[in-house]
Amino acid sequence: MTRRSTKSASKTSSSGSQPRALTLGGCVLLIIFIVVGLLGALGVLPKSMMDWAATGIAQIIVTDGTPLATQAPAATTVGATSVPRTAVPGRPTSWLTVYFTDPATSSQRNILDTAVLPVITRARRTLDVASFDLNLPKFIQALTDAKARGVTVRVVADEKNGAMTLDADKNNGVAFDALQTLKKAGITVVDGGRSNGLMHNKIIIADGTTLFMGSWNASYNDTFTNNNNLLKITEPRLIANYQAEFDDMFVNKIFGAKSQLRSMLPVMTVDGTPVENYFAPRDRVMDKLIQETNKARCSIKFMIFTYTDENLASQMISQAKLGVDVQGVIEARGASQGALPSLFCAKQKLLQVKTDGNSATMHHKVIIIDEETVITGSFNFTKSADTANDDNLIIIRNSSVAALYLQEFDKVFGAGKTPTSVTC
């Protein structure tokens, strides 16, 4: 099959030093920021919303909604390597940095040291953390250190289903209990664990200005042995979405299907890049995945920890029959009880599915469509993720970001194995 190129050219224009009048869109955003700021000042909304509004007002006044940065960093750190990053034509991607774990070199540099700890150690006001698994000693130490220097630290975990302890053989001969350590330091931990769903979010927000999200838990395995991706985001509107999600869990203590909170601003354009952001179960996230795969015209590539949703599998099979190149990797553990048999036994020439080759866990939750669109987050392709869990998803339409994920896909797919436990 001859693939049609999906990359499109963008017209660019040079910008001078003349001030610009606010557009209608800028005026509307300015009004929204002002109202949210006033509600934050009055205590109707969390203080973090007031901070977000102040940042947004300043940004709009100076740039009419365009981020102030004019140059993108030279490289994006991926695991222990640096990969050159080119921006969307004419526009930087300074609001987003992508990281991948690299189990093969985990004993050297890792995303905890490279990405997360520098932000935590610089935090001066607030640190909000939601993590399904939470047992990484160096990370917990950074939180207790932040608490000691006066930072307000708030944590949401899943004490019923997540891993909160670490065996001695992984911690210099000393068993480690993350919850006990946090509570001893005076840090409040809200338990989102329950029998009818998971608190499955992976969120870190520092000072209301930096967000980490993706598939990475603050756990030993997710850092050193599992395949994961982590996004560092500085876009205020996305941070506000995640702050509202965190506050609903920590402040209101509402989880899963009981929560009525939906994504505050689900669709936006960030520095020239279209972005969508959703939270399960309120935003019907599986419907979004099916809609996105239905848009594919050339290729669908996926890496997923758990894949059981047959409707999504049927959509991918249909796309392969229409000439779309579909390739995927599913975590080997339990794969034969999920959607793997349907996908593997479809026997479509353009549909290749493998089980992963990592002796530990391939923990990604990623779809890459037409080498342009990246879908990632904490959301597995399951009914429970869609209807019961606290999960999140982001859709980024940017070929430069897609290129980074395609590189990771090629590595994971290349190490994948042909399923042997499936009988067609």
Sequential pLDDT tens for the chain (424 residues): 434 333 333 333 333 333 334 455 555 556 766 776 666 656 655 544 555 554 454 444 333 333 323 233 333 343 422 233 332 332 447 899 999 999 887 555 689 999 999 999 999 999 999 999 999 999 999 999 999 999 999 999 999 999 999 999 999 999 999 999 999 999 999 999 998 999 999 999 999 999 999 999 999 999 999 999 999 999 999 999 999 999 999 999 999 999 988 999 999 999 999 999 999 999 999 999 999 999 999 999 999 999 999 999 999 999 999 999 999 999 999 898 899 999 999 989 999 999 999 999 999 999 999 999 999 999 999 999 999 999 999 999 999 999 999 999 999 999 999 998 888 8
The predicted structure's pLDDT at residue 420? 87
Nearest 5°: CA angle at 418, between 362 and 423? 110
Every domain of the chain and the residues it spans: 24-63, 77-262, 274-415
CB atoms within 10 A of CB 207: 17
- Classify 63 as helix, strand or coil: helix
The predicted structure's pLDDT at residue 14? 33
Domains 77-262 and 274-415 share a fold: yes
Residue 70 has phi, psi (to 5 degrees) of -115, -10
Q: Rounded to two decimals, what is the model's pTM?
A: 0.81
CATH of 77-262, one of 3.40.47.10, 3.40.1390.30, 3.30.870.10, 3.60.10.10: 3.30.870.10
The predicted structure's pLDDT at residue 87? 29
Q: Does domain 274-415 have CATH number 3.30.870.10?
A: yes
Contact between residue 58 and residue 102 where contact means Cβ atoms under 8 Å apart: no
The predicted structure's pLDDT at residue 9? 33
Among residues 221, 249, 254, the alpha carbon closest in space to that of 362 is found at: 221
Give me the residues paired with residue 374 across strands.
Answer: 368, 396
- Classify 242 as helix, strand or coil: helix
Q: How far apart are CA 405 and CA 225, in angstroms?
A: 19
Helix axes 47-63 and 24-41, enclosed angle (nearest 10): 150
Among residues 212, 192, 190, the alpha carbon closest in space to that of 142 is found at: 212
Residue 277, H or E segment: strand 273-280
